[in-house]
Amino acid sequence: MFVLTVDQRKSRKREDLVEAAMDALNHDALRPLVLPFDRTAGDEMQAVAAEPAVVVSIAMELAVSSHWSVGIGIGSVKRPLPDNTRAGAGEAFERARSAVTSAKNASGNIAVSGASPQAGQAEALLQLLVLVARRRSELSEEAGILSDQGLTQQQIARQLGISQQAVSSRLQSGLWQESRRVLSVAESLLEGADR
């Protein structure tokens, strides 16, 4: 099982983003959670997930924004599960707490904690992916999002009013294809660490 513990960065200097983030994440039908995000302390929220793809998708979105430190804990959780995440307990919760503390000073503000060496390997890949994503230009980001939605380069070119060659260049400069492959490896490593 996976626990995500997420802490808002520079929360004393910014407005509280926790409620809006929880609302959006808890109502995302494409990323189902075992237990929804719940505020655990002032500027912190926590959720439980079973699927590595869901964990990676949420963690990447939050970490890339630069507004959050994201900790992913892998391990057992105490059963039966409580009605709300805040009341949860077990190894995954403890590891998520440790991970979010590490994430505050980690590359890309993301960290993973689990008993398997695969947790550390997944962490290294996720940190790299966050740093790549943060360095993308707006133009590359625009083309990459459309590509991730399943559009072909020709369709993206028509939608953006640019040449297919320009789309290809934007996707290459943003390392979109490479990032997708690395993301898949990170998900596999998380799955392995959860066994």
User: How many CA atoms lie within 13 Å of 146's alpha carbon, on the beta-carbon side?
Assistant: 19
pTM, full prediction: 0.93
CB-based contacts of 122: which residues, under 8 Å, 6+ apart? 72, 112, 186, 189, 190, 193
* Share of residues in the chain with pLDDT > 90 (%): 94
Total domains, the chain = 2
What CATH code is carried by the domain that includes residue 105? 3.30.70
- Which contiguous run of DSSP H or E holds residue 21? helix 18-26
What is the Cα–Cα distance from 8 to 13, expressed in whole angstroms? Answer: 11
Q: Examine residue 185 and state whether it is found in any structural domain, yes or no.
A: no
- Which contiguous run of DSSP H or E holds residue 6? strand 2-8
For the chain, give the mean pLDDT. Answer: 95
Q: Examine residue 75 and state whether it is found in any structural domain, yes or no.
A: yes
Determine the pLDDT at residue 162. 96
Task: Say yes or no: 67 and 115 in one domain.
Answer: yes
Q: What is the domain extent for residue 152?
A: 138-173
Determine the pLDDT at residue 10. 79
Q: Examine residue 195 and state whether it is found in any structural domain, yes or no.
A: no
Task: Say yes or no: 147 and 128 in one domain.
Answer: no
What CATH code is carried by the domain that includes residue 162? 1.10.10
- Tokens 């991730």 belong to residue: 148
Task: Say yes or no: 151 and 127 in one domain.
Answer: no
Q: Could you read off the pLDDT of 86-143 as tens digits, one per residue?
A: 999 999 999 999 999 999 999 899 999 999 999 999 999 999 999 999 999 999 999 9
Task: Say yes or no: 19 and 60 in one domain.
Answer: yes
